[in-house]
Amino acid sequence: MTARERVLMALNHEEADRIPIHDSPWAAAIERWHNEGLPEEVNPAEYFDYEFVSFGADTSPRLPIEIVGEDEEYVLRTTQQWQGLAGRSWAASTRCSGAWPRQSTRE
């Protein structure tokens, strides 16, 4: 049974050979799987045979982000959209490549 057939059967409330799988593992999980033996050239979505591979769209207004503080563990940033509020995120999650502006030496 193909992934398409499996998904269509699930959407039609019919029984397929198995339940369609959806997952979007964190980058840290994928890195760990590679460290534990999953070859670097293997795509986890293909290896685990996901029917759904998610992608996200950034629907924010893309206002400039200002870094107001950071240490080894966290990055604290704010933007006009947040009206004076600040958001804290893990420093490791901001080290990946991306299009949003960064004002850090760790880009």
pLDDT of amino acid 106? 45
Which helix (DSSP H) or strand (DSSP E) does residue 77 occupy? strand 74-78
Residue type, 18: R
Task: Say which amino acid occupies 97.
Answer: S
Q: What is the mean pLDDT of each run of 10 residues along the chain (107 residues)?
A: 91 93 87 92 87 74 81 81 71 50 44
In 3D, which of 99, 106, 90, 93 has the Cα closest to residue 64?
99
Is the overall model pTM greater than 0.85, yes or no?
no
| Maximum separation of any 2 CA atoms in the chain, in Å | 54
Token couple for 63: 């206002």
